[in-house]
């Protein structure tokens, strides 16, 4: 484990096209692509959610996809839904703020008090994890120490994926490969953020498993931080 403080074990799980994209085009919901997942792979996704203590996606994924992030296709408990949202500005009618499962919104010290109060009034837990923006290492520590989260899965999007990898907070990656090419130089891919400058900065992975799940190839990697 790369981090020095206690944190959850983290799995990044994502559906990606053959050209590494997460959605049809910038601003489009990934739910459109998810319709083309094999039923067996949908089951795998929901079984994975049920096996994890918490699930995290970025605030922009909530704005665009309006995800529920619950376990629906298999028996089992929905994980704690965790959304980093520095200004507490996801819509108050977002599905993730509904009663289907517990939700924790991580905000920064700059989040307006009325927004935080409105979220709490909906029964949502709000924690401050950073001064100007949400600091992911601190959030991981809070989830581990204060909420007993031992296993966390993240389901994107690319901005959150990049920050989590950059902070060396991801242990494993599981990809569901969709047999499509969507193209588009600004179409979100698995990892966004800043480009790297040298090969020394490449994040190395160890392919540990690959298998068919229905008609989808699934690949599993360990993340090797130096
Ligand atoms: N295929 C898939 O598996 C899959 C899964 C998920 C999403 N997607 C797609 O991905 C796209 C959205 O991705 P995105 O890159 O725009 O957004 P994102 O990664 O979902 O969310 C990023 C946002 O999270 C908030 N955030 C707060 N603290 C953060 C921190 N420390 N590090 C990172 N983010 C932090 C920021 O919003 P604030 O500034 O408001 O705090 C940031 O803009 C959508 O098109 C969606 O459909 C695809």
Q: What is the pLDDT of residue 4?
A: 55
Pocket test for ligand 1, best of 42, 45, 61 (most atoms within 8 A of CB): 61
Tell me if 4 is assigned to some domain.
no
> How far does residue 208's CA lie from ligand 1's centre (Å)?
27
* Model confidence pLDDT, tens digit, residues 108-117: 999 999 999 9
| CB-based contact 37:175 (threshold 8 Å) | no
144-177 confidence digits (pLDDT tens): 999 999 999 999 999 999 999 999 999 999 999 9
Taking the CA of residue 85 as reference, the ligand 1 atom at the shortest distance is 41
CB-ligand 1 contact for 12 (6 Å cutoff):
no
Tens digits of per-residue pLDDT, 22-36? 999 999 999 999 999
Quote the tokens at residue 131. 């001064």
Cis peptide, bond prior to residue 90, ω within 30 of zero: no
Instruction: Tell me, yes or no, whether 155 lies in a domain.
Output: yes
Instruction: Name which of 146, 142, 164 is nearest 154 in CA terms.
Output: 164
Beta pairing class for 54-56 and 204-213:
unpaired
**Per-residue pLDDT at 3:** 47
Residue to probe by mutation, ligand 1, list 126, 131, 156, most atoms within 8 Å of CB: 156
Sheet containing 9-17, strands listed edge to edge, beginning at the edge strand earlier in sequence: 125-128, 103-107, 80-84, 54-56, 151-154, 9-17, 172-178, 216-224, 204-213
Burial 166-201 (b: 16+ CB within 10 A, else e): bbbbbbbbbbbbbeeebeeeebbbbbbeeeeeeeee
Q: Which atom of ligand 1 is nearest to the CA of 14?
A: 3
Question: Do residues 8 and 54 make contact, with C-beta atoms less than 8 angstroms apart?
Answer: yes
- Which is the closest atom of ligand 1 to the Cα of 34? 1
CA neighbor of 8 nearest in space, from 123, 131, 104: 104
Domain of 73, CATH number, reads: 3.40.430.10
Tell me, using a 6 A CB cutoff, whether residue 13 lines ligand 1.
Answer: no
Structural domain includes residue 19: yes
Q: Which domain holds residue 64?
A: 9-224
Q: Does residue 5 carry a pLDDT above 80?
A: no
Number of domains in the chain: 1
8 A C-beta contact, residue 211 and residue 49: no
CA distance 216 to 15: 10
Residue 50 is assigned to a structural domain of this protein = yes
Question: Using a 6 Å cutoff on CB, does residue 79 contact ligand 1?
Answer: no
Of all protein residues, the one whose alpha carbon is nearest to atom 22 of ligand 1 is 58
- Is residue 2 in some structural domain? no
Task: Report how far residue 103's alpha carbon sits from residue 150's, in angstroms, rounded to the nearest whole number.
Answer: 16
Span 186-221, pLDDT tens digits = 999 999 998 899 999 999 999 999 999 999 999 999
Q: Is the CB of 188 under 6 A from ligand 1?
A: yes
Does residue 13 sit within a domain? yes
In a domain, 157, yes or no: yes
Q: Ligand 1 pocket, 30 CB below 6 A?
A: yes
pLDDT of 1 strictly over 80: no
pTM to 2 decimal places: 0.96
Kindly give the pairing relationship between strand 216-224 and strand 204-213: antiparallel
End-to-end CA distance of the chain: 11
Residue 3 counted as domain residue = no
Question: Could you give the CA distance from residue 28 to residue 26 in angstroms, rounded to a whole number?
Answer: 6
């Amino acid at each position: 484990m790369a981090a020095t403080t206690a944190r959850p074990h983290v799995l990044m799980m994502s559906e990606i096209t053959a050209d590494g994209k997460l959605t049809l085009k910038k601003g489009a919901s990934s739910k459109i692509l998810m319709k083309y997942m094999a039923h067996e792979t949908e089951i795998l996704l929901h079984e994975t959610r049920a096996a994890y203590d918490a699930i995290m996606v970025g605030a922009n994924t909530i704005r665009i996809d309006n995800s529920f992030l619950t376990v629906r296709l298999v028996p089992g408990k929905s994980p704690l839904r965790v959304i980093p949202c520095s200004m507490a500005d996801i819509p108050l009618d977002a599905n993730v703020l509904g009663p289907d499962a517990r939700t924790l919104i991580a905000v920064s010290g700059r989040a307006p008090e009325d927004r935080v109060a409105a979220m709490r009034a909906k029964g949502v837990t709000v924690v401050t994890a950073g001064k100007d923006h949400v600091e992911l290492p601190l959030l991981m520590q809070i989830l581990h120490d204060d909420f007993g989260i031992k296993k966390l899965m993240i389901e994107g999007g690319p901005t959150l994926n990049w920050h989590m990898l950059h902070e060396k907070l991801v242990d494993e990656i599981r990809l569901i490969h969709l047999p499509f090419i969507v193209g588009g130089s600004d179409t979100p891919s698995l990892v966004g953020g800043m480009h790297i400058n040298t090969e020394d900065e490449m994040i190395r992975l160890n392919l540990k498993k690959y298998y068919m799940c229905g008609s989808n190839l699934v690949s599993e990697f360990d993340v090797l931080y130096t």
